[in-house]
Amino acid sequence: MFANPSVLLILSLIAGPFDDAPALELRYTGALAKAAKTADEAPVKRFSLFCAVLREAEGGRQLAFHVNERGGGAWAWPERYGSISLDKSLNATTPGAIRLLYDYEGNPLVVPLPLPVPAYHAALKNGARWNIGKESYEVVKSEKIQDRNCWQIQVSTALGRRRTVWVDTESPLLVALEERVFVGQGDEHILTMQLESSRALDQQQLAQAILPLPGLLKLQTALARGENELRPELTMEQIKLTTDALPELRKQAADTPFSALVAAIDKDAKAQLQRTDEVGKLADKFVDKPAPKFTLKLLDKTEVTSESLQNKITVLHFWEYQAEPLVEPYGQVGYLQFLDSAVRRKLGVKVFGVAVDSRFADPQSAPAALKSVQKLKSFMNLEYGIATDDGKLLAKFGDPTKYGAKLPLWVVIGPDGKIAHFHSGLYKINPDEGLRQLDELLIKLIRSQKGKSTDGE
């Protein structure tokens, strides 16, 4: 839990402002650019980083931060801030990391940023060398950067120099960074980061600066999102937690470094609430109504008509089914495959994936789209039937993407031909239980169908 500023102690660590105040406020700017970019080509991403390094009892530190990214993808707001506990030597003692999210050719890639207070500061002297994991560090010289006396440190791996870091000689503060980042098939990028400002905070300034932080961290914990959650969509429960917390957060964040973050949370919560409401209305429009007539054109060239599925329970899983970009959890097709193999063979449920891609409407682009679907099918070892759709079939069943929602869309048609279930987005998953919500619905429909069959006999 984040420390209360009233109990922060002024303890000595090393000389300088880092030592003399309850906290230090640090602001960085940076960019990620292609190494081979032309002179007039803009970076693929720019970012700013706010950090507050707070003194704690027993000589430790607490590092609070939030990141703002512009261009080339970005983390959703719950992943843009956090708090990391540091011991006396500035080693992290709690999970957490400062990271960028780079959308590289449709694939999200995590780009870690270094902590602004390097733990190896005490070892710095001219010519010093040491290893951390597979990386070799060497202090090559002292150099003046931004009117600060700094140690220049080169970090190398077996493949050569990886990064250059400049650290203040008087305080354990990162002043600048230049790092080679390789993405995709070895596409080299350059990550740069520089300290724009630093200032010591007294107790009053500190209390004001981090006023909304305990509430933000409490909300972050309550959302219980995965460590590498990439999707910005929140569940209805998460949206409610957010909207309940916002009134107090708005008041506390005014005139603090977290005001822009809270404003972004407010805007996103309103948009997600509206989207959820629209998709809910769409579900109400279809559930318990007769399913539209349709024909599925499968990858093996066969066709399945809605008439042939009469008196059967049918699951339609609308998703892109593209091999690239391939992002976990892959539309949850792995869980659907398990459900299909566990249920269909024994109980007669028909499961179909529907690959939605506008390229199927054009004979020239359709082969590339088909190849991508087949590649994904092979990669995921999918055994259930997969149909292609240029978007017309999805529109028949109600396209949630029109309201800003993302696929997958799950539609279950009961043996009576009516839509029994309409779910937009990913299911909340416990890995040990798989698609429990969908599974329970199917079992209910199967039992109901068997009951009616027995009554008819």
- Please write the tens of the pLDDT for every residue from 239-254: 999 999 999 999 999 9
* pLDDT at position 186: 87
More confident residue, 348 or 170: 170
Q: How confident is the model at residue 227 (pLDDT cuts 50, 70, 90)?
A: confident
Is the confidence at residue 453, as pLDDT, over 70? Answer: no
Is the confidence at residue 456, as pLDDT, over 80? Answer: no
* pLDDT at position 102: 96
Is the confidence at residue 407, as pLDDT, over 50? Answer: yes
Q: How confident is the model at residue 216 (pLDDT cuts 50, 70, 90)?
A: very high
Task: Estimate to the nearest angstrom the gap between the alpha carbon of 121 and the chain centroid.
Answer: 32
Q: How confident is the model at residue 204 (pLDDT cuts 50, 70, 90)?
A: very high
Pairwise CA distance, residues 144 & 166, whole Å: 9
* pLDDT at position 13: 33
Is the confidence at residue 4, as pLDDT, over 70? Answer: no
Weakest-pLDDT range from 79-93, 222-236, 387-401: 222-236
First to last CA, the chain: 63
In this prediction, residues 155-164 reach a mean pLDDT of 91
Instruction: Encode pLDDT of 36-70 as tens digits.
Output: 877 778 899 999 999 999 988 777 899 999 999 99
Pairwise CA distance, residues 309 & 268, whole Å: 41
Q: How confident is the model at residue 30 (pLDDT cuts 50, 70, 90)?
A: very high
* pLDDT at position 434: 84
Is the confidence at residue 16, as pLDDT, over 80? Answer: no
Q: How confident is the model at residue 269 (pLDDT cuts 50, 70, 90)?
A: very high
* pLDDT at position 342: 76
In this prediction, residues 202-228 reach a mean pLDDT of 93
Phi, psi of 308 (to 5 degrees): -75, -10
Q: How confident is the model at residue 1 (pLDDT cuts 50, 70, 90)?
A: very low
* pLDDT at position 455: 52
State the chain's mean pLDDT as an integer: 90
* pLDDT at position 348: 81
Instruction: Encode pLDDT of 290-349 as tens digits.
Output: 999 999 999 999 999 999 999 999 999 999 999 887 787 888 999 999 998 876 667 889
Is the confidence at residue 2, as pLDDT, over 50? Answer: no
Is the confidence at residue 166, as pLDDT, over 50? Answer: yes
Is the confidence at residue 419, as pLDDT, over 80? Answer: yes
Is the confidence at residue 264, as pLDDT, over 80? Answer: yes
* pLDDT at position 15: 33
Domains along the chain with CATH numbers: 5-114+173-209 (no CATH), 211-286 (no CATH), 295-456 (3.40.30.10)
* pLDDT at position 430: 79
In this prediction, residues 382-400 reach a mean pLDDT of 95
